[in-house]
Structure 1
Amino acid sequence: MPTVSVITGGAGGMGLATAKVVGRDHAVVLCDVRQDRLDAASAALNDLAISAAVINSDVTDRDAVAELFGMAGAIGPITSVIHTAGVSPSMGDADYVMRTNAIGTLNVNEVFYDTAGEGSVIVNVASMAAHLLPEELIPARQFPLALTDEHAFLAAMAAVCDPIPQQARSGFAYAVSKAFVRWYSSSQAERFNGRGLRVVSVSPGSIDTDMGRLEAEAGAGALVADAAVPRWGKPEEMADLLAFCASAKAGYLTGTDILNDGGVVASMKERARLAAGNA
């Protein structure tokens, strides 16, 4: 029976690129909400002789996520989950962004925690946006609500986002939702370790995918131009990192976030420091 790697958002740019790496050693189960993209991803993997099952599933629905894991587990033991499913600010309003990125992450991780066998790992995709958001704007004290009362959590996040001007609200919600992904992947590491599980997050910068390019006109393009590595990241560069984090080679890695952004955050922080010193 083959070992299985589940990749949410598996029909997207980073998800499919990761499947091409992980699929060398595992049976791959791709989850996405768009069947046409799933079919295309499956065909692309089949051309590479990679075994892939595709499941149309919405990560914001806990029951659907449980069904996804049940179907994947029937293929073989799930040893890794790479959670790339998410949306960008250009794809919806603040509530949609928060629900997809934060609640989607919560659902996938909690079902993983309940069902995964010892030694398994989940790798969550956060964002450099979470690193750029000032600490005082991150409502971390309210993040634990997600574990006990989803409705109260979403109401608290809405209260944080509502004062932001309409044109910037989705972007702010995106940064907060990805800060939640980082928080969850760190704060829950000890709990996961109690079941012999690892949980890690990775924060990409501007990656050359369909979703990444949606943000090119919303500021990401300028950030890339000023980065230490002045170009868009490649999906394959993220895929190799995600696959490593999910592998046995990274068996000591848990409870942390890896920023892979071409130096954007480091550059911006240093420029801010210099500017403050010259003020």
Structure 2
Amino acid sequence: MSRVSVITGGAGGMGLATAKVVGVDHSVVLCDVRQERLDASADTLKELGVAVTIVNADVTDRQAVARLFDTAAGLGTVASVIHTAGVSPSMGDADYVMRTNALGTLNVNEVFHASANEGAAIVNVASMAAHMLPEELIPTAHFPTALTDESAFMTAMLAACDIAGEEARSGIAYAVSKSFVRWYSTAQCERFNGRGLRIVSVSPGSIDTEMGRLEEQAGAGAMVADAAVPRWGKPEEMGDLLAFCASAKAGYLTGTDILNDGGVVASMKERARVAAQG
């Protein structure tokens, strides 16, 4: 049977870039909510000789995610999932950002855990924002609630976004939601390993995609300029990393987060250290 890789957010820049890599030796199932972009991405992949199937599904809908995995399983053995689906602060209010990024990740990962065969891997996309929010502002104690009471989880997460004014709530929700993705990908690794599965997260910096550029005027542009590598990351650079993390070559890699941000976080921390001494 064919080895299948599921890519959520497959119509986006990082998702498509990853599909081009994994599609060399896997059948690819692209999932997104934007049908026109899905169709265009599928055409691009078919021109490259990739066997691709598209599924229009919202990751915040657990039943839709289950149907996505059923489709993938009908094509062969699901070897990997690259979960790039997510939204940025400029794309909606705090509830929308939290629901998409946190609960969407929960849905995709929990269905994967329940259905994947031994040896499969899932790679979640977090963010450098998860490395920048002060720990005291991250409601980590409430993160496990997502697994038992999603309503209570959302209430606690949105309460954590009230630390700043209304204008900042979406940005805080983004950082908190991506902190949840990072936490989940480490905290659940032993449970996943119990079924012979790997789980990893990758935290991109500012990547030159449609979604990445939405945040250019909201501070990302300045962070790029101050990075150790002062440029925007390329979708292809993220695609290669995500594909590697999902591959058999990374068979020892699980329960961790990989920060790939051009040195933004490292540079900011060092400048803060020097300024504090001065």
Q: Same fold (TM over 0.5)?
A: yes
Partner of 2:155: 155
Q: Give runs of aligned pairs for residues 139-150 of structure 1, distance below 5 A.
A: 139-150=139-150
RMSD: 0.5
Q: Do the aligned residues in 1 keep the contact of 2:138 with 2:160 (CA within 8 Å)?
A: no
Partner of 2:254: 254
Partner of 2:64: 64
Partner of 1:211: 211
**Residue 40, structure 1, aligned to residue 40, structure 2:** yes
Q: Secondary structure of the equivalent of 2:199? A: strand
Q: Paired residues, what number? A: 278
**C-alpha displacement of 1:162:** 2.4
For 1:270 and 1:199, the matched residues in 2 are separated by 30
Partner of 1:80: 80
For 2:187 and 2:104, the matched residues in 1 are separated by 17
Q: Do the aligned residues in 1 keep the contact of 2:57 with 2:64 (CA within 8 Å)?
A: yes
For 1:132 and 1:98, the matched residues in 2 are separated by 17
For 2:163 and 2:255, the matched residues in 1 are separated by 32
For 1:158 and 1:182, the matched residues in 2 are separated by 18
Counterpart of 1:130 in structure 2: which amino acid?
Answer: A
Deviations 1:51-87 (A, max 9, x none): 1000000000000000100011000010100000000
Counterpart of 1:262 in structure 2: which amino acid?
Answer: G
Q: Secondary structure of the equivalent of 1:208? A: coil
Counterpart of 2:194 in structure 1: which amino acid?
Answer: G
Q: Give runs of aligned pairs for residues 1-279 of structure 1, distance below 5 A.
A: 1-278=1-278
Q: Secondary structure of the equivalent of 2:129? A: helix
Runs of 4 or more above 3 Å deviation: none
TM-score by length of 1: 0.99
For 1:157 and 1:132, the matched residues in 2 are separated by 17
**C-alpha displacement of 1:164:** 1.8
For 1:42 and 1:12, the matched residues in 2 are separated by 12
Q: Secondary structure of the equivalent of 2:2? A: coil
Counterpart of 1:43 in structure 2: which amino acid?
Answer: D
Identity of aligned residues (%): 77
For 1:252 and 1:114, the matched residues in 2 are separated by 21
**C-alpha displacement of 1:163:** 3.5
Runs (5+) with no aligned partner, structure 2: none
Deviations 1:13-49 (A, max 9, x none): 0000000000001000000001101000000001101
Q: Do the aligned residues in 1 keep the contact of 2:81 with 2:122 (CA within 8 Å)?
A: yes
Deviations 1:173-202 (A, max 9, x none): 000000000000000000000000000000
Runs (5+) with no aligned partner, structure 1: none
